[in-house]
Amino acid sequence: MFAPFSLNLKGRLHVYNRPQVMGIVNVTPDSFYSGSRTMHEAEIGLRIESMIEEGVDFIDIGAYSSRPGADDISPQEEISRLSKGMAVLRGIAPEIPVSVDTFRADVATAAIEEMGADIINDISGGTLDPGMFDTVARLKTPYILMHMRGTPATMQQFTAYTDVVADVVSDLSVKLRRLRLAGVADVIVDPGFGFSKTLEQNFELMSGLEAFSSLDCPVLVGVSRKSMITKSLGIDPAGALAPTVALDAIALTKGASFIRVHDIREAAQTVALFNLLNSSNTH
């Protein structure tokens, strides 16, 4: 099911022949999973070192918690937190590709031009900052286009779909066309599990994940320790590792190019087994 893909990172073309593990670093005090929160340089450094040791391919760093009910912070505070996190990250891992999780064009500009980030990961898919698409085009950076309706505070009011898979694919397709017209060459699509989706709709999306291959872009899946797991099973995020691995494995068999995770070792092992399965199919 895996389709090789390429990304232009800072003028160099990189080709990927297996799914990539994207590790989560939150320089926030209030992300939904407490195990991912790192606010101090020493904590950030330890987290990044252990991720590299466990086999991370990409790192996704965010300074604005998008969980429902999280505090809004100013762009200045977001940039300040990101600068601290990126300085530690680049000190330890100058070469590893880094995406910055932000929906603000000004923050995206600072992250790429001043902090050494490679990719912009926008949970709002361009809806919360109308300048984002043009900014990404100007920065000549890959862009992760996620599906969400409303804002992190209001998104769960916008879960009415005719057919969640078809509607999300259609919405991403329209935005993809706008990005192409703006001049953005590399786009990764993210169905937005947990964002403006009911529990049932999250599972419908996973079941129909193959439909996203019609967009002809790498597909990123982020379900790690999310409420689609915890609420469905009646557990808390700390106990959600095994079911996360199960869903990531399913996502890989349905064509995911990236799995975005809190737990690197287990995700890297999942990808390794998937690759063995894939190579046995081609013999």
- 112/118 Cα distance (integer angstroms): 6
- pLDDT value at residue 39: 62
- The helix or strand, by DSSP H or E, that contains position 264, with its residue range, turns out to be helix 264-282
**Segment 179-201, tens digit of pLDDT:** 999 999 999 999 999 999 999 99
What are the distances in angstroms from CA 127 to CA 18, 142, 235? 31, 17, 32
CB 240 within 8 A of CB 225: yes
Where residue 188 falls (left for φ over 0; alpha for ψ -120 to 50; beta otherwise) is: beta
Question: For the whole model, what pTM was predicted?
Answer: 0.94
**Segment 202-237, tens digit of pLDDT:** 999 999 999 999 999 999 999 999 999 999 999 999
List the catalytic residue out of 47, 84, 197, 260. 260
List the catalytic residue out of 149, 225, 226, 254. 226
**Segment 55-75, tens digit of pLDDT:** 999 999 998 877 666 677 899
- Domains, the chain: 17-282 (3.20.20.20)
Q: Is 231 a catalytic residue?
A: no
Q: Is 90 a catalytic residue?
A: no
Strand partners, 144: 121, 188
